[in-house]
Amino acid sequence: MPNFTEFPREAPRANRDAPMFTLQTRGLVSLNHAAFQALGEPMAVALLYDADEGIVGMRKVPKTHQNAYAVRKQARSQSYLVGAQAFTAYYKISTQRARRFPGRDYGGGVWGFSLREGVAVQNRRGGQPGPAVTDRWRHTTDGFEVPALMNITHVAMSHPGYMTRPAGDKPPSVRIGMLVACDPLGPSLSTSDLRGRFLGFLTSAPVMELIWALTASGGDVSWAPWGGRGRFNLEAVLAADNEDEAPVASALLLLPEKGMARYGRDSRSAEFVLDVEPRNAQGEPAAPVNLAAWHQRFTNALTLPTLLAHFLAHDLGLATADDPPAQAGIWLNTPRAITELVDVENLAAVKGSMPSNQFMGWALADPAGKTAAATAVDLLTQMCDHTLHLDGYETVLADLAAPSAPLQA
């Protein structure tokens, strides 16, 4: 006779309700609701580390505490996030693969986890990572989901033309950033080979079509290597020979290095940044364009990660992955108001509102997500609501969402 044991129906619930911590690939630490409650439902925590034992700890602190890290609730989820990128980079804690840890009570209000007890977290499809997904997107306004993209506003291009113009004379600009997970760069290609192949990527039709949709050339220009720092940091400019003038466009490619983690960067991904200052044929700031034109520009920008993934795999020999997912971001920055770049035509802003001088939108690759064109509509909705504060824009965007929507001049 088999020695049966009756299954207790509360067993799965008890395991789910135990405090758990997850160290994510982007250097974020997530807490389930039980861990959040065990810590006293904090608005902020201090991060602690025992290097000898490999134990990460947290304790509740006021938001005004000198070393406080904010705790943020994830949308539509009973879990919470702490941005620990600087912490994990400083202590060289591996974030190459997401790992889940049982929570431990270390006394004195400190809860945490031992790095020795981690279990690898499978990707959303329940298996090993596959090639990067770059044709379907999910729009997000949560910067915790795209911490590396948030930093594209701080990326400095090194051409002297940006530095010699008078202070306060920076014209409107458009910056596009993207990340695609891939293998670390190996030794097979020389630094000169890498520069040459990067220039080939930049001269491809999708990149150039997006640039010429944003700006006029203003003369005889071509891509050339500029600055950079060796094999893993490649920079190039689209410019004429006059180094006193800012380039038509600048581009930066950061490739992952084996065993190297850098603050603010996802060490598993290649990062590409394209910066353009829209100009007319006379070299002056270009006139603003309408929402239809920006929809086409956003759509084109969201197709570039596919080109980047192909370049990484076929030109550099770096296998791509869908974990972490590919990311894309667009930053519009103006000296005074975003209407220097965006023509709202006959749409009016809500009374009492003031348009911002910049817009930043993000998207994450998602096999169940939307097309580039549909995601561009989501980005424009965010811009109309939170940057331009427009009233009655929905009809315009509905027309853009239609498959046969024509591009207006």
What pLDDT does residue 96 have?
66
Element (H, E) at 34: helix 33-38
Give the percent of the chain with pLDDT over 90: 60
Q: Is the pLDDT of residue 376 over 70?
A: yes
What pLDDT does residue 194 have?
95
Q: Which of 90-94, 165-169, 213-217 has the weakest average pLDDT?
A: 165-169
What pLDDT does residue 129 have?
58
What type of residue is 223?
A: W
Take residue 396 and report the two structure tokens written for it.
Answer: 């315009």
Q: Which of 121-130, 152-161, 288-297 has the weakest average pLDDT?
A: 121-130
Q: Is the pLDDT of residue 138 over 50?
A: yes
Measured in whole angstroms, the distance separating CA 221 from the mean position of its chain's CA atoms is 30
pLDDT tens for residues 260-272? 656 556 678 999 9
Residue 89 contacts residue 259 (beta carbons within 8 Å)? no
What pLDDT does residue 297 have?
97
Tell me what the pLDDT averaged over the chain comes to: 87
Q: Is the pLDDT of residue 128 over 70?
A: no
Q: List the one residue out of 80, 79, 88 whose CA is nearest residue 47.
A: 88
Q: Which of 25-29, 68-72, 220-224, 362-366 has the weakest average pLDDT?
A: 25-29
Q: Which of 142-151, 194-203, 337-346, 354-363 has the weakest average pLDDT?
A: 142-151
Q: Is the pLDDT of residue 16 over 60?
A: no
What pLDDT does residue 343 have?
96
Q: Pairing mode, if any, of strands 28-32 and 20-23?
A: antiparallel
What pLDDT does residue 291 have?
96
**Cα 268 to Cα 55: distance, rounded to the nearest angstrom:** 24
Q: What's the whole-number mean pLDDT along residues 100-105?
A: 94
Residue 70 contacts residue 129 (beta carbons within 8 Å)? no
Every domain of the chain and the residues it spans: 11-120, 137-401
Residue 303 contacts residue 178 (beta carbons within 8 Å)? no
What pLDDT does residue 3 have?
65
Q: Which of 36-40, 185-189, 191-195 has the weakest average pLDDT?
A: 185-189
**Cα 372 to Cα 302: distance, rounded to the nearest angstrom:** 6
Residue appearing with tokens 């086409």: 296
Q: Is the pLDDT of residue 1 over 60?
A: no
Q: Is the pLDDT of residue 335 over 50?
A: yes
Q: Looking at per-residue confidence, does 150 or 266 come out higher?
A: 150
**Cα 12 to Cα 6: distance, rounded to the nearest angstrom:** 14
